[in-house]
Amino acid sequence: MNILDQDIKYLPGVGPNRKKMLSNELGIETYGDLLEYYPYKYVDRSKVYTIHELTGDMPYVQVVGHILSFETFPMGPRKERVVAHFTDGTAIADLTWFNGGKYAKQNYKIGTKYLVFGKPTVFNNRINFTHPDLDDAAKTDLSSMGLQPYYNTTEKMKKSGLNSRAIERLTKVLIEKLPPLPETLPDFIIAERHLMGRDEAFRIVHYPQNAKDLERARVRLKFEELFYIQLNILRYASDQRRKYRGYVFSVVGHAFNTFYSNYLPFPLTEAQKRVIREIRKDMGSGRQMNRLLQGDVGSGKTLVALMSMLIAIDNGYQACIMAPTEILAEQHLQTIMAFLKDMDIRVALLTGIVKGKRRKEVLDGLMDGTIHILVGTHAVIEDTVQFARLGFVVVDEQHRFGVAQRAKLWSKSTNPPHVLVMTATPIPRTLAMTLYGDLDVSVIDELPPGRKPVRTTHVFDARMTSLYDGIRQQINEGRQVYIVFPLIEESEKSDLKNLEDGFEVLKQVFPEFRLSKVHGRMKPKDKEEEMQRFVSGETQILVATTVIEVGVNVPNASVMVILEAQRFGLSQLHQLRGRVGRGADQSFCILVTPYKLGEDTRKRIDIMCDTNDGFRIAEADLKLRGPGDLEGTQQSGMAFDLKIADIARDGQLVQMARDTAQPIIEEDPECRSDKYAILWKRLRELRKTNINWGVIS
């Protein structure tokens, strides 16, 4: 048995109770889990200060001296503050305990020399350390102190004595106990990438002597983590390509040409033309296409998807577009039918609400091939849905569908259909490489002609009166306005009340206008009616929650007001802003916040006001929030829990890992060569872990 698989309860100092706590709070079950529970910061313990040098704004420091006396101050029933007066001969400092003072009085002796470590503050004109660490100076070798690691722990753990120092001590016991760890990368990669050995990296990352060694250890461990993810994704993609032949669509015929000549609503942008060429090349190559199409809101992705579906129809095949929600599916249906006008192409809808006779008609039409394009939700992948010849599938907003769901579509066809995955959430390259590593990427990076960039401004909520005047002016010029309230699940009741109250206030502020109201808790029928009133222009103001984030298209709406904008993530703000600016008029997005904002929030608001570029916003979002939370809710696509690497900050390492893995897969696609045996063995071990590799790719 590998020593890293050993149950953590057998590590001296753990036992059954601590094992339960470590397992429940941090998911640490084995020696290996503890070894991979990395410090989140380090404090330099190599320097000793004198008390005389200290100021209240310094970070953690250490001093050596002895306790002169203890003093106790009562703090209500059964509570006391214990203060030790401490000196090193240059000045006196106070060591203060609000909890654990009894322990301090019993265990720390007056006159004994201690190494005190803590954060200095100033209280009563004297340097003060609250809850410092004390070590017997005679038993401490200062020359070997180096950088002290700090580990994240929970309140529950701290209460039971498992604080950062306790984790550090357990890790020390483990590292002293471990034999040299076997290498998991071949020598040629270690040499080529100038990496530290694995065993050394693990020991140094927990107990670094200096910052230079620490950086090298972290690079080694991050690289390995990212490399095996890339190796697995590329292996998976290579398998798919070898296993599945794609349909060859060699004809660009009647349907495509008729649409292009007679029905194209506006000239294609250069970016749209480029993407259609990339898709055509894939579809004619004889291998199954798996392509990710990224493009900002309003960049014309649906038109590109439709023209690609027409190529499938020209070659005698059916196409299908799958959307994550019924509202979005219906929006796609209306958009496609409006594009096709009176062309002889049958388009049908299949969602959970299509039932009975209508449903049977759709299922029959798919089976006999008379339906050319199916628009639907995940109802499309149910077993009862069978196609005559499915050749092309568009998946909209991919992050809401796993690979398993994509694979289900393949089984509806003798050969797997070509797949085009679309997203309006621009994904930074490093994240796309990791989340969608098995997909080729196309980007539409320009807006259709005549579109003016939306102007974004930040307004404090104390200035609502002038904001209302601006809204009134826009409506009097014939435009429509969205006013969005936050509706966050944790505080849904109070948020819903804010929306209801806000709606009443707005009715009083704008008695001359008609208002609609939409939120996710309404019945679909009522929601649809209210939306339709706004779309048709019957109401001038739509008061809503983020249900309008995806897929609502009202070219006449030119103002988006987002209340309490500080509560939204960047991607969400960007998606909401994309609801305006769809017509030829200048559009505005107004972010309303209270005056007092945290630093991160202020950065988010500034980025929104500075740029309309979805990719810049996504990069910033990734840096501010981390990859697991890009959608404002935990992203279902993120199946892997990176222990040390950070996709937002380690973009170069992600690229390096991919560049290292690519030639290996090309040289040994079946993973059999002895030259790479160490890699395939390690990959098999990793695939047995709790990482859901299937979802990653």
Q: What is the pLDDT of residues 235-245, one digit of tens each?
A: 888 887 777 77
Q: Strand pairing partners for 593? A: 460
Question: Mean pLDDT, to the nearest integer, of 658-675?
Answer: 92
Considering only residues 633 and 2, tell me which one the structure prediction assigns the higher pLDDT.
2
Structure tokens belonging to residue 572: 């969400």
Kind and range of the H or E run holding 319: strand 318-322
Place of tokens 């199916």: 374
Between 558 and 696, whose confidence is greater?
558
pLDDT of residue 488: 55
Q: What pLDDT was estimated at residue 617?
A: 84
Q: Which residue is listed with tokens 């006196």?
A: 92
Report residue 636's pLDDT band, with 50, 70 and 90 as the boundaries: very low
Res. 661: pLDDT tops 60: yes
**Residues counted in the chain:** 697
pLDDT of res. 147: 86
Task: Summarize pLDDT for 101-130 with one digit per residue, the tens.
Answer: 888 999 999 999 999 999 999 998 999 999
What does the block give as tokens for 227? 């490399």
CB count in 10 Å sphere of residue 591: 23
**For position 206, what pLDDT does the model report?**
95
The predicted structure's pLDDT at residue 689: 59
pLDDT at position 290:
86
Q: Is residue 629 scored above 50 in pLDDT?
A: no
Query: Which residues are bridge partners to 49 per DSSP?
Result: 63
Q: What does the pLDDT read at residue 641? A: 65
Which of 449-453's residues contact partners 24+ apart within 8 Å by CB, and which partners? Answer: 449/266, 449/267, 449/269, 450/266, 450/584, 451/298, 451/581, 451/582, 451/584, 452/581, 452/584, 452/585, 452/586, 452/587, 453/581, 453/612
**pLDDT of amino acid 270:** 94
* Mean pLDDT, range 250-262, rounded to an integer: 94
pLDDT band of residue 405 (cuts 50, 70, 90) is low
Q: pLDDT category, 410, cuts 50, 70, 90? A: low
pLDDT in tens, 447-502: 777 778 899 999 998 899 999 999 999 999 999 999 999 875 556 677 777 888 88
Predicted local confidence at residue 473, as pLDDT: 94
Amino acid at 554: V
* Three-state DSSP class for residue 390: strand
Phi, psi of 196 (to 5 degrees): -75, 155
Cα torsion 138, 144, 147, 151 to 10°: value is: -70
Decide if 334 contacts 322 (C-beta within 8 A): no
* In the predicted structure, residue 425 carries a pLDDT above the cut 50: yes
**pLDDT-based confidence at 504, cuts 50/70/90?**
very high
pLDDT of residue 583: 75
Q: CB-based burial of residue 624 (10 Å sphere; 0-12 exposed, 13-18 middle, 19+ buried)?
A: middle
Largest CA distance in the chain: 96
Report the chain's mean pLDDT, rounded to a whole number: 86
> Which pLDDT value is given to residue 549?
54
Q: State yes or no: pLDDT of 697 exceeds 60.
A: no
Q: Is 146 left (phi over 0), alpha (psi -120 to 50) or beta?
A: left
Distances (CA, A) of 567 to 265, 271, 592, 598: 38, 34, 10, 11
Q: Among 179-188, 407-416, 542-551, which range has the highest average pLDDT? A: 179-188
- Four-CA torsion 397, 402, 403, 407, nearest 10 degrees: -90
In 193-290, which residue ranges form alpha helices assigned H by DSSP? 198-206, 211-243, 254-258, 270-283
Decide if pLDDT at 372 tops 90.
Answer: yes
Q: In this model, does residue 529 exceed pLDDT 80? A: yes
> Which residues have C-beta within 8 Å of that of residue 414, sequence separation ≥ 6?
none
Between 446 and 10, name the one with better pLDDT: 10
| 631, pLDDT greater than 50 | no
What is the rounded average pLDDT of the residues 586-603?
91
pLDDT tens per residue, range 195-222: 999 999 999 999 998 889 999 999 999 9
Res. 565 pLDDT band, cuts 50 70 90: very high
695 has pLDDT over 70: no
Q: What is the pLDDT of residues 300-333, one digit of tens each?
A: 899 999 999 999 999 999 999 998 878 788 889 9
For residue 68, pLDDT over 70 is answered with yes
Q: Is the pLDDT of residue 168 over 80?
A: yes
Q: What is the pLDDT of residue 639?
A: 40
Q: What is the pLDDT of residue 189?
A: 96
Q: Specify the pLDDT at position 647.
A: 74
Q: Of all helices (H) and strands (E), which one includes residue 693?
A: helix 693-696
The percent of residues in the chain predicted with pLDDT above 90, rounded, is 52
